[in-house]
């Protein structure tokens, strides 16, 4: 697989990463541990070098899984994890106090079975802690050799600039896909200006852009998508128009809708690195195939002209979670 560098950071990763959250959190029952370890290792053997986890995924179990799976590959891969929630619980509110950041780093190093965190993200901006203090804490961890690079997740432009002034931000991780393009307005231009890489999560629209979900699909009771307005039955029915468009383009390119969705992101900027997740080997192989599809400038114009005619229905988050993003 080709590699990319995240902005001006010098951090080189595979063109597609692997989002590990869904192996143990967020999308229904956790995957069998040995099966999940095998899948992560198959990704590494296939050329994926960028793996994303967080203390909040579980909590803690996903980091432990990733650490065990990648131990044989540690010096060939980049591991990203995150801090920022009280006691690692994403439903308990924010906690990015400097002392907490240091605690999280030390605990994550043990769970990940490593001596350094390659990329340490603030999971969500904490309005109660000045961004300068957050960036300063990570700067200290970098000086100590425990962390290599600083990242932010779902941060707004003002927060990005404040953080970057204290400690250069290597990457911003936020949702971005063919059905959520808000980062194009302000965030991507700021990343371009400051030399910050961009890591889209949910690049396949939480699975919807694969074409395998329709209005009749049901989700496990603990699947996050049950509370997402964009995944209401009515919204899924309406949004099928976008998947139909992807299907037509995929047929012309001898690919799949998921591969076109990933190729579109890769074609946008050379410093964009999507992190699709999956629990299935055949989907992993399909996603990796998306990195081999080249979309021309004309292809992009045609796709985006068609997108302009489609109105995606439903918010991407329920209100209480939407309030955490873009601060």
Q: Given pLDDT bands bounded at 50, 70 and 90, which one contains residue 126? A: very high
pLDDT of residue 96: 98
Q: Is-contact 220 28, C-beta < 8 A?
A: yes
Reported as a single tens digit per residue, the pLDDT across 301-317 is: 989 998 899 999 999 99
Q: Is-contact 59 24, C-beta < 8 A?
A: no
Q: Is 27 helix (H, G, I), strand (E, B) or coil?
A: strand
- How far is residue 303's CA from residue 290's CA, in Å, rounded to a whole number? 16
pLDDT of residue 207: 96
pLDDT of residue 113: 98
Lookup: tokens for 65: 């899984």
- What domains are there in the chain, each with its CATH number? 3-205+262-293 (3.20.20.100)
- How far is residue 108's CA from residue 55's CA, in Å, rounded to a whole number? 7
Q: Given pLDDT bands bounded at 50, 70 and 90, which one contains residue 160? A: very high
Please, how many CA atoms are within 13 Å of residue 139, restricted to the half-sphere of its CB?
13
In this structure, of 18-22, 132-136, 310-314, the range with the lowest mean pLDDT score is 310-314
For 63, other C-beta atoms within 10 Å of its C-beta total 28
Write the CB contacts of 256 (distance below 8 Å, at least 6 apart in sequence). Answer: 210, 211, 250, 286, 289
pLDDT of residue 279: 97
pLDDT of residue 169: 98
pLDDT of residue 228: 96
Q: Is-contact 111 88, C-beta < 8 A?
A: no
Rounding to the nearest 10 degrees, give the CA dihedral for residues 176, 238, 297, 13.
30
Q: Is 276 helix (H, G, I), strand (E, B) or coil?
A: coil
The chain-wide mean pLDDT, for the chain, equals 96
Q: Given pLDDT bands bounded at 50, 70 and 90, which one contains residue 326? A: very high
The Cα-based distances of 226 to 220, 229, 323 in angstroms read 8, 8, 18
Q: Is-contact 171 6, C-beta < 8 A?
A: yes
Q: Given pLDDT bands bounded at 50, 70 and 90, which one contains residue 189? A: very high
pLDDT of residue 288: 98
Reported as a single tens digit per residue, the pLDDT across 225-278 is: 999 999 999 999 999 999 999 999 999 999 999 999 999 999 999 999 999 999
Segment 59-73 shows an average pLDDT of 98
pLDDT of residue 10: 97
The single residue listed with the structure tokens 């959520």 is 180
Catalytic amino acids? 57
């Amino acid at each position: 697989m080709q590699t990319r560098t995240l902005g001006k950071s010098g951090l080189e990763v595979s063109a597609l990463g692997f989002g590990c959250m869904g192996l143990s959190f967020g999308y229904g029952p956790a995957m069998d541990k040995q099966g999940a370890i095998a899948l992560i290792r198959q990704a590494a053997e296939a050329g994926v070098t960028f793996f994303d986890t967080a203390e909040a995924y579980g909590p803690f179990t996903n980091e432990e899984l990733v650490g065990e799976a990648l131990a044989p590959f540690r010096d060939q891969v980049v591991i990203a994890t995150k801090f920022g929630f009280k006691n690692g619980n994403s439903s308990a509110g924010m906690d990015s106090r400097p002392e907490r950041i240091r605690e999280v780093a030390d605990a994550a190093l043990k769970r990940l079975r490593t001596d350094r965190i390659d990329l340490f993200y603030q999971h969500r901006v904490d309005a109660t802690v000045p961004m300068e203090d957050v960036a300063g804490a990570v700067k200290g961890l970098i000086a100590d050799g425990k962390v290599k690079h600083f990242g932010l997740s779902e941060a707004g432009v003002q927060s990005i600039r404040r953080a970057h002034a204290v400690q250069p931000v290597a990457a911003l991780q936020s949702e971005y896909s063919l059905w959520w393009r808000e980062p194009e307005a302000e965030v991507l231009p700021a990343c371009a200006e400051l030399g910050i890489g961009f890591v889209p999560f949910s690049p396949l629209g939480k699975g919807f852009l694969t074409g395998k979900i329709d209005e009749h699909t049901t989700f496990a009771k603990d699947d996050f998508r049950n509370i997402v307005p964009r995944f209401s039955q009515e919204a899924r029915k309406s949004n099928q128009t976008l998947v139909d468009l992807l299907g037509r383009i995929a047929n012309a390119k001898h690919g799949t809708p998921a591969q076109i969705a990933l190729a579109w992101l890769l074609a946008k900027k050379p410093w964009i690195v999507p992190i699709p997740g999956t629990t299935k080997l055949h989907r992993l192989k399909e996603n990796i195939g998306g990195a081999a599809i080249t979309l021309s400038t004309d292809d992009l114009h045609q796709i985006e002209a068609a997108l302009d005619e489609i109105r995606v229905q439903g918010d991407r988050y329920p209100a209480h979670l939407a309030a955490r993003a873009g601060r």
